[in-house]
Amino acid sequence: MVAAATLTGFLTGFFGVGGGFIVVPMLVIALGLAMRHASGTSLLVMVIATLTSLLARLGTDVQIDWTVTLIFAAGSAAGGLLGGPLSTKARPSTLTLLFSGLLGGVAAVTLAQTLLL
């Protein structure tokens, strides 16, 4: 578990991506958690990791756009309040399929942007 968590943190920091994209698959594949449990666990892990990262950057020359930050935080909170109850109505296999599609879509867009630059 420690190795999986460390690898997850390394990949998140190295690629500079939201950890949920890495945490959820790691929890499902490496630790065998069900998708619903992995999603909830991932959210808590991301809150802790995000707060830690924010505190580490306070007082440095990193500029935080607070307007964008607060809009995304509010939108994410609203989306979470809507998505949480909806996910309880979906079959676990449907959640896994949707998450896989999301990851594939992000990968395709990232690949296209990289090749076009």
pLDDT, position 71: 96
- pLDDT per residue as tens digits for the range 62-109: 888 889 989 998 998 899 899 888 888 889 889 889 988 988 998 899
- Using a cut of 0.85, tell me whether the model's pTM lies above it: no
pLDDT, position 32: 92
The residue extents of the domains of the chain are: 2-53+67-116
Instruction: Output the six-digit token pair for 112.
Output: 């296209």
pLDDT, position 101: 93
Round to whole Å and give the CA distance between 81 and 32: 26
pLDDT cut 90: percent of the chain above it: 21
Mean pLDDT check: name the lowest of 19-23, 54-58, 78-82. Answer: 19-23
The answer, yes or no, to whether residue 18 has pLDDT greater than 70, is no
